[in-house]
Structure 1
Amino acid sequence: MTYKNFPMVPRVMFGRGSFNQINDVLAPKRKNINAPFVFLIDDAFKGNPWLTSRIQLAYDDKIIFIPTKVEPKTEQVDALVEDIIVQSKERPSGVIGIGGGTTLDMAKAVAVMLTNSGEAKDYQGWDLVKNPAIYHIGIPTISGTGAEVSRTTVLTGPEKKLGINSDYTPFDQVILDSELTKDVPKNQWFYTGMDCYIHCVESLTGTYLNEFSKSYGEKAFELCKQIFLDDTLSKTDAQEKLMMASWHGGMSIAYSQVGVAHALSYGLAFLLGVKHGIGNCIVFNHLEEFYPEGVALFKKMKEKHEIELPEGICANLSEDEFNTMIKVALGLEPLWENALGKNWKTIATPEKLRSLYEKM
């Protein structure tokens, strides 16, 4: 048997207000005055000096605001990389992603593509990256995706939605400052938090489960129950706990995998552009057959927080459109094997997936 030898984020700073030390963290990493730091920041913070004023730009450093209303695309990565190369005298000293899963995934992808030739779509898959990425930092401003800790950067390409999964993808440094999550809208907080919860359910019930994944998954699962069901938590405590649930949830799938909800959600995202968090919620809401206890608890949380999920999003799709979603979802073979075992193809048939999509 060959054991996976996954990398982990080597440096982590945790604590409310820790973002204020960003300049101290970056100073020793600057290569020279011609090698800028590039800050990719969620465009929700555009015109918000509360965050940007704490970043000390020097020399040719630049801030680029990343639109996050749609899922990150391979062509966006390619365009960003080209702009950075054209505008910089030398390869950047580092890339800093500040935002939610979309922005963090963009930062990881750009850091990888600055040192690897070709297009981002060429690297969608597992272990296709040949050269180490440039130095890159992740600073989440919303908690749940686990993007800050994972070895993947989820991208929608011309043919599929699939991550760049590699040993060079994880961040070199992460700063976990829960204060940065204080203004997240309620619905977004729920959808992204449920991404973490669904990570845990899929990891803990999967055939790939092992004690490494289990220890992280169980902790994240318990934190999610506290955050979404315990009325006694202060807002600050809930923010800190969700930040750590996200971290542990991301770690729980590092040595296992996600499952049915994520596979089907990728199909929705590819065809309809449904964002990852809400997509997982829409799908998971119909998966009692696969995750009976997990879905029951999800519905309890949804009801408690008065969350209304979109319905009928697949109502008017053509045969070709259904087939496109099914093809994307079935292409994620490790997810299905984790969820259903080696004989998953006898259960997850195109007809079965069609019937599930028709419910959404």
Structure 2
Amino acid sequence: MSYKNFPMVPRVIFGRGSFNQINEVLAPKRLSIDAPFIFLIDDVFKSNAWLTSRIQLAYGDRIIFISAKEEPKTSQVDALVEDIILMSKDRPSGIIGIGGGTLLDLAKAVSIMLTNKGEAKDYQGWDLVKNPAIYHVGIPTISGTGAEVSRTTVLTGPEKKLGINSDYTPFDQVILDSELTKDVPKDQWFYTGMDCYIHCVESLTGTYLNAFSESYGNMALELCKEIYFENNLSNIEAQEKLMMASWHGGMSIVYSQVGIAHAMSYGLSYLLGTKHGIGNCIVFNHLEEFYPEGVKLFKQMMAKHDIELPKGICANLNDTQLDTMINVALSLVPLWENALGDGWKKIITPDKLKNLYLKM
């Protein structure tokens, strides 16, 4: 039997205030004075010198502010790569992503496409990347997606929403500083934290489950319950615990897979542009048939934090649009296999998916 030899993030700094070490972490990685560091930063920090003032730019280093209002696209990756190639004499010393899952995924994808020919859409799938990415660093400013630890970078392409899943995708360095998450709005904190919770439910109930995934999944699940149910956690404790839940939730799917909520939310995202965290919540809310315990707990957490999910987002879609979403969801074969086993096509038909989408 052949076992998968998955890479992990080789270097991690964890601690409140650890972002202050960014300059000393990067200094030894500079290749030459003509090889700049490129910082891709969520534009919510554009007028926030609290974060950017700690980055010491030198030798043509550059900050590119990027809006995270939309999910990352393959065309966006291609445009960034072209821009970076045109602006620097040499290949950059590294790409540093600072933000939530969108920015982290963009940083991973750009670092891959700087060393691989063609367009980002050519690499959507499993193990299609041929050349190692350039040095890349992930610094999350919101917790839950697991993008800081995963071997995928999820992108919306012209034909599908699918990750660049490869051994070259994971970051070379991650800095986990919970202080960077202190200003996250409450609804965003909930939706992104629930992305982590749903990772755990899908991993722990899936057919791909093994002791490796189970140990990380259980740890992340317990942290999520503590964060979203306990009343005696300080803000700092909750921020640190959610950062670790995100890490462990991401690790739980490294050696297994996610499931139905993710497959269906990819359909929502591809057609409607629904953001990943809230999309997962909208779908998961209707999956009692498949995840009865997980959905019951999810509804309790929504009630506790006064979260109202959007309703009727699929109500006015025509059959062509619904078919597009269904086809995107059904193309994610490993997710369905993990959720329902080899016979998943007998359980999940296009009509079944259509009826589920129409409830949302």
Partner in structure 2 of residue 59 of structure 1: 59
Structure 1 residue 2: deviation in Å?
Answer: 1.7
Aligned residues: 360
Structure 1 position 167, deviation (Å): 0.1
Q: What is the aligned partner in structure 1 of residue 279 from structure 2?
A: 279
| Deviation string, structure 1 residues 251-300 (Cα, Å, up to 9, x no partner) | 00000000000000000000000000000000000000000000000000
Distance 1:30 1:110 in 2: 18
Residue correspondence of structure 1 range 255-294 to structure 2 within 5 A: 255-294=255-294
Alpha-carbon distance between aligned partners in 1 of 2:288 and 2:160, rounded to the nearest angstrom = 27
1:314-348 C-alpha deviation (Å, 9 max, x unpaired): 00001000000000000000000000000001011
Letter of the 2:116 partner, please give it: N
Amino acid at match of 2:72: P
Aligned residue number for residue 178 of structure 1: 178
**RMSD of the TM alignment (CA)?**
0.3
Partner of 2:123: 123
- What is the aligned partner in structure 2 of residue 346 from structure 1? 346
- Runs (4+) of structure 1 exceeding 2 A deviation are none
Gaps of 5+ in 1: none
CA–CA distance in 2 between the matches of 1:325 and 1:46?
34
AA in 1 matched with 2:291: Y
Please state how far the C-alpha of 1:159 moved relative to its aligned partner: 0.2
The residue aligned with 2:93 is 93
* Correspondences of 1:149-188 after superposition (within 5 Å): 149-188=149-188
In structure 1, the residue corresponding to 2:225 is in which secondary structure? helix
**What is the distance in 2 between the residues matched to 1:193 and 1:212?**
22
- Correspondences of 1:98-247 after superposition (within 5 Å): 98-247=98-247
SS state of the match for residue 262, structure 2? Answer: helix
Residue matched to 2:332 = 332
> What is the identity, as a one-letter code, of the residue corresponding to 2:267?
G
Give 1:19 deviation, angstroms.
0.1
**TM-superposed deviation, 1:128:** 0.1
Q: Residue 62 of structure 1: CA displacement?
A: 0.2
Shift of 1:16: 0.0
- 1-structure distance, mates of 2:355, 2:231: 37
Q: Aligned-pair distance for 1:214? A: 0.2
Amino acid at match of 1:68: A
User: 1:16 maps to which residue?
Assistant: 16
Structure 2 residue ranges without an equivalent (≥5): none
Give the TM-score, by structure 2 length.
Answer: 1.00
Give the whole-Å Cα distance in 1 for the aligned partners of 2:47 and 2:116. 33
Alpha-carbon distance in structure 1 between the residues aligned to 2:92 and 2:210 = 39
Distance apart, 1:66 and its partner CA = 1.1
Matched to 1:196, the amino acid is C
C-alpha separation between the residues in 1 aligned to 2:51 and 2:263? 35
